[in-house]
Chains A and B, each alone.
Chain A
């Protein structure tokens, strides 16, 4: 399979710059997920790989070839659209074989390849049906089939699961993962759902306002977010952030006059920082060990665990704390909350980790 490289890629629509200088190297056979909030440029980037959007400056290289000015059909890519984009007037077989028929490939070859692809995706029984007669998941498979039959160097997925209901989404996620391990192809996948990103990706590219915030494996992003944006974006519930001040020996003071939290922050005293702690690294402690006192405003009972949301002066947003499913404090209670597990993240005033 092939690798994909972005060199200083920029994209503007008129005066508006959407992609502000992307450098990225995707390894052969990797499953890379572009993730980020709406408007961050992830779809634009994907469409630039496909050739559906032009590149304002920079280069896109696929398999060692500069494809920046090559038409989409000659780049060796295949794309699965969010809306599946199946031709309503063709049946499944014709949809899948569309590209081959355009290229006037021999009929026997087309039939053979369509059958192979239909086998992989288990849609052989649907070959004569029209898209209107298929369910969402089936349409999705046909769209993937149309991509597979091209033997592309890079597979592109544009939020393919957004139109599916929750249960189907989980099922299709597994199928796409299975597909990747079977084909071993280079895949670039765009989603706004960080759960999809975490579960499918070999590496995740977090994008924000046209720039890369961080690139790394899911666990790297989860355990070592490079800045506040990534810290908040990855992980559900989002990481709790506490503004704090560095005091003597690197300890942190969350509020004026409060007991400092033991830490080893390598910054000068009086520096303003942000302390980040995930919900599973906070717990209800004894008052002596507590970092802060917070009032319970809501509790979500998920079955396997509970998430408590508390109001505290130390944090502008509600503080999320993971609790065992048997612990059910009362709404309105003041609870002592402290660190548990010793995993904290410190971010400087510029938002980057220290």
Chain B
């Protein structure tokens, strides 16, 4: 659907509007791209190079030592592993719970279920600060501070609203007739969910996996609160703590930033082909 320029009879040839639009877009794209490109450029320059010239200029040659430094740093390995140990279970857990709840709200409504759904969704809107202190006290009391468990559990809980929202909106588009046909064939609700609804919900799942994984992988606050020792840190905390070690080694920091972003990029690229349609679902009506 294009709203800015529907086809015109007999237009043909040079369209001033389109040219202007393209020009503006190119300028804005450059502005938006500059920061990321800068990091990329810095990561392939040696620290001396940067100090001499500029962080932002084109490099003379491609300098890979920064990446080698990052990739061979055992601390980085620990950080990445920790983040993986948090992101994978939390993603699976939150999406799984979202599927269960979303199915009920979409296909098995009851009196008050709409209100309950709204309450669940409202959970997305609260700044994490409002639940920070009690959770800290809870996990402190359980002796789980400085482990990865609180981070995993909290992310599962915090992911429930968005996962429920998206899955419920998606399941609502599955015709009731499909469920009724399955029930007539003797399926129970669990079988309807796993054999009928879930298999066709792959686009929505792809969106959710990408969203959740990215969000959890990139998170900073909860690991900050719940971990103390260096060997429990996630990669984003590691980025900050390594600033001390790599204080003026901008190139290494740049390389580290890009390495840290790699997993989310991989997830995005992998699932992209599945969620062409999924993105628009529920995005407008909330």
Contact = CB atoms under 8 A, between A and B. Distances in A.
Are A and B in direct contact (Cβ within 8 Å)?
Answer: yes
Interface of A: 48, 51-55, 68-72
23 contacts: A48-B9, A51-B8, A51-B9, A52-B6, A52-B7, A52-B9, A53-B7, A53-B9, A54-B7, A54-B8, A54-B10, A54-B11, A54-B12, A55-B9, A55-B10, A68-B9, A68-B10, A69-B9, A69-B10, A70-B10, A71-B8, A71-B9, A72-B9
Nearest to A49: B9
Given A53-B7, A69-B10, 7 more contacts: A52-B6, A53-B9, A54-B9, A68-B9, A70-B9, A70-B10, A71-B9
Contacts of B10: 54-55, 68-70
Interface string B1-23: 00000111111100000000000
Contacts of A48: 9
Q: Chain B contact residues: over half helix, strand or loop, or mixed?
A: loop
Q: Chain A contact residues: over half helix, strand or loop, or mixed?
A: loop
Contacts of A68: 9-10
Q: Which 3 pairs from chain A and chain B are nearest by CB?
A: A69-B10, A51-B9, A54-B9
**Residue from B6, B8, B9, B12 with most neighbouring chain A CB atoms (10 Å):** B9
A54 B6 CA distance: 11
Contacts of A71: 8-9
Nearest to A48: B9
Contacts, number: 25
Contacts of B11: 54
Nearest to B6: A52
B234 to A, nearest CB: 47
A52 B6 CA distance: 8
Contacts of A54: 7-12
Interface of B: 6-12
A102 to B, nearest CB: 16
B3 to A, nearest CB: 14
A279 to B, nearest CB: 37
Nearest to A54: B9
Contacts of B6: 52
A272 to B, nearest CB: 46
Contacts of A51: 8-9
A300 to B, nearest CB: 29
B137 to A, nearest CB: 50
Nearest to B10: A69
A53 B7 CA distance: 7
Contacts of B12: 54
Contacts of B8: 51, 54, 71
A69 B13 CA distance: 13
A54 B12 CA distance: 10
A54 B9 CA distance: 4
A70 B12 CA distance: 12
Contacts of B9: 48, 51-55, 68-72
A61 to B, nearest CB: 14
Nearest to A50: B9
A52 B11 CA distance: 11
A54 B10 CA distance: 6
A48 B10 CA distance: 11
A45 to B, nearest CB: 13
**Residue from B7, B10, B12 with most neighbouring chain A CB atoms (10 Å):** B10
A102 B111 CA distance: 48
Contacts of A52: 6-7, 9
A68 B9 CA distance: 7
A23 to B, nearest CB: 19
A137 to B, nearest CB: 28
A71 B12 CA distance: 12
**Residue from B6, B7, B12 with most neighbouring chain A CB atoms (10 Å):** B7
B89 to A, nearest CB: 45
A52 B9 CA distance: 6
A53 B9 CA distance: 6
A3 to B, nearest CB: 19
A173 to B, nearest CB: 30
A52 B8 CA distance: 6
A48 to B, nearest CB: 8
A109 to B, nearest CB: 29
Contacts of A69: 9-10
Nearest to B11: A54
A191 B8 CA distance: 24
B186 to A, nearest CB: 35
B43 to A, nearest CB: 44
Nearest to B8: A71
A70 B7 CA distance: 12
A146 B10 CA distance: 25
A256 to B, nearest CB: 50
Nearest to A69: B10
B5 to A, nearest CB: 13
A51 B6 CA distance: 11
A68 B8 CA distance: 11
A53 B8 CA distance: 7
Contacts of B7: 52-54
A55 B9 CA distance: 7
A51 B8 CA distance: 7
Contacts of A55: 9-10
Contacts of A72: 9
A178 to B, nearest CB: 32
Contacts of A70: 9-10
A55 B8 CA distance: 10
A53 B6 CA distance: 10
A70 B10 CA distance: 7
A350 B203 CA distance: 51
